[in-house]
Structure 1
Amino acid sequence: MGQTRSIIIGLALLLGQTGAAAAADLGLPPPAPCDGCDSPWYFKGFVGAANPHVDDISSELFQTNDFQVFHNDIKSSPLFGLGIGYQFNKWLRFDVTGEYRGDSTFLAQDRYPGADGTFNSPQPGFNPGTNEHTADIQSWVGLFNGYIDLGTWHCITPYVGGGVGFASISVNGLKDVNVPNASVFYAQSNTETNFAWAVYGGLAYDVTPSLTLDLSYRYTDLGDASSGRVTAFDNSSSYKSLNINNITSNDVMLGVRWKFGCCGAAPAPMPVAFK
């Protein structure tokens, strides 16, 4: 394999020298030099996996009884994003990104005691119960990011970074099933927009002067989310919302950066007419 590669490189150099000499003999200008990218701007696209975490859930009902939360979770989902950036110098760059985090399932379970504070035979109308919450979660995230490139070795550049921006989180189709009390509650959809921040670590690989592959990890704090008003199926009662508190996410992303103003292949010479 190494010998074949050496032969190919040697032939390429020989052909290049022969082509340059032929061009000079024909009176053609030499091809323009290509030593990188003239513009500091770049465009990026990325895909990844979002792995969210929820600290806790709550509602106004939690203030009137001793609720115990057993589980709360937002399942992993894909994410897709685009951005535009500026390479300030060889160490520092900035970009603005927008991303859609795909539809994912929210799950939570809790229980509460009856009027006597236990889960034994309760007084009529003051039964203990459980709640099994399910909903769909969607979000849009916009961030202004800064990165420090830590040097390049064999076309590989490790970097760290951080970003600030917003997260718009929608809670759709929340259902609250209370099996012991044979009741079901449904919630209106609701969207909350919060301050968001992120920290990055990653590796970039320069495939060509204009094309860079980017593998990164990101910790993202998205803020809180909540449903709309939650109402019993028979309209017998309702409560303001179910709150999903402090959503964070461990994201893994694969991206591509295209630098503007980069030289491509040298233009083909104009045909020469021979008399």
Structure 2
Amino acid sequence: MKMTFFAVAAATLLASSAAYSADVFQPEPQPIMDAPEVAVAEASGWYLRGDLGYSFNRLRGAEFYQGSNATVSEFDDIDLKDSFTIGAGIGYQVNSYLRTDLTFDYMNKSDFRGSTSGGGAGFGACVTACTSEDLSALRAYTLMANAYIDLGNYAYFTPYVGAGMGGSYVRWDNLNNTSCADDGSGCDTTVEHGGRGSWRFAYQLMAGASIDVTCNVKADVGYRFRHTLGGAMFGYEQNGGPGSDDGFYSHELHAGARYMFGGCAQPVAFEPPPQEIVYK
């Protein structure tokens, strides 16, 4: 009887211990892992841009046929005035460092003044030495394909450099030529030469900085150098012409803005891995 009693007691104790152990079982803790950093989607996509600028212009030279179109002469003095510009474009931000765009801009009226001096024309007031005054103006419409490299973001500023190439339609107004005698005896009647227009090759180099206004609006200020090649300038009239220019340089300061489509960059949500279910 004693042995039976002790066997039953031992069995009861073992069963209660097992039950208690099952009740207090805790799963092994998962190894601690560093939470990944929250990633931010890189901004990219289409944008629109607009710019206003002021261009300092320099004509590289101009020449014309004189007399019976057998002699080519150059203007002794030339001056091309500064002008305003306005432009717009559409572009694509490829990544944080590269973007491209297609731009069209208009250079407002830039006045031209030239002069020549020499022997008399042989008629009118200018029968001896005389000096001519030649007045005209040009306008330019330019289409450019551009690429830019952004040089990193510093607070709200992103400096950049860029280059572009394309075509420019340069339109000259009529040129008015007035010759006056150097001795002050008088001037000939003004001769009007018809202005000419032509498409020319052009290229440009840029540098500037973008300024973050909002997450999808950026102000843009910068400098642009443009070289527009030469072409037709004015036509023939009364033993003078036609004439052509040797192209011109433009040094432009501009300010504008870019609007990025697609909204602002959004954080990439982090979802923790599913935990293994432990049953008691």
- TM-score norm. by structure 2 comes to 0.71
Within 5 A, what are the aligned runs for 1:101-140?
101-113=107-119, 127-140=128-141
Query: Does the CA-based 8 Å contact 1:37-1:262 persist in structure 2?
Result: no
Residue 68 to residue 127, structure 1, CA distance change in 2 (3 Å):
farther
The 1:71/1:101 distance shift into structure 2, 3 A limit, reads: same
Does residue 87 of the first structure (1) align with residue 106 of the second (2)? no
Post-superposition Cα deviations, 1:60-119, rounded to whole Å, max 9, x if no partner, equal 12986695744212111111110000111111110000011111211111212359xxxx
Q: 2:203 matched to 1:202? A: no
Task: Name the CA distance, whole Å, in 1 between partners of 2:204 and 2:171.
Answer: 20
For 1:60 and 1:169, locate their aligned partners in 2 and report how far apart those are by CA, in whole Å. 20
Instruction: Tell me by how many angstroms 1:155 deviates.
Output: 1.4
Tell me by how many angstroms 1:38 deviates. Answer: 6.2
Aligned to 2:58: 53
Indicate the larger mover: 37-46 or 88-97.
37-46
Q: How does 1:24-35 map to 2 (within 5 A)?
A: none
Contact persistence 1:79–1:102 (CA under 8 A): yes
- CA deviation after TM superposition for structure 1 residue 179, in Å: 1.1
Distance 2:180 2:194 in 1: 21
- Cα distance 1:177–1:248, how it changes in 2: closer, same or farther (>3 A)? same
Contact 1:171 1:225 in 2 (8 A): no
Contact kept, 8 Å, 2:159 with 2:208, in 1: the verdict is: yes
Q: How many residues in Structure 1 have an aligned counterpart in Structure 2? A: 222
C-alpha deviation, 1:242, in angstroms: 2.4
How far did residue 228 of structure 1 move? 3.3
1:224 aligns with 2:230: yes
- Alpha-carbon spacing, 1:60–1:95, altered in 2? closer, same or farther (3 Å): same
C-alpha separation in 1, matches of 2:117 and 2:257: 47
For residues 190 and 125 of structure 1, do their structure 2 counterparts lie closer, same or farther at Cα, with a shift above 3 Å needed?
closer
Contact 2:172 2:195 (C-alpha < 8 Å) held by counterparts: yes
Name the amino acid aligned to 1:86: Y
Kindly state the Cα deviation for residue 230 of structure 1 after the two structures are TM-superposed.
Answer: 3.7
Q: Deviations over 1:214-233 (max 9, x none)?
A: 001001011124333242xx
Unaligned runs of 5+ in 2: 1-39, 182-186, 266-280
Give secondary structure in 1 for the equivalent of 2:213.
strand
For the aligned residue pairs, the C-alpha RMSD in angstroms reads 3.0
TM-score, normalisation: structure 1: 0.72
User: What is the deviation of 1:141?
Assistant: 0.6
How much identity, in percent, do the aligned residues show? 25
Q: Distance in 1 between matches of 2:83 and 2:193?
A: 23
Amino acid at match of 2:110: S
Aligned partner of 2:195 among 189, 195, 201: 189
| SS at structure 2 position matched to 1:153 | coil
CA distance in 2, matches of 1:76, 1:87: 32
Q: Match for 2:62: what amino acid?
A: I
What is the alpha-carbon distance in structure 1 between the residues aligned to residue 41 and residue 194 of structure 2? Answer: 54
Question: In structure 2, what is the Cα distance between the partners aligned to 1:255 and 1:184?
Answer: 43
**CA gap 1:94/1:199 in 2 versus in 1, 3 angstroms:** same
Of 153-162 and 66-75, more deviation after overlay is shown by 66-75
Residue 146 (structure 1) aligns with: 147
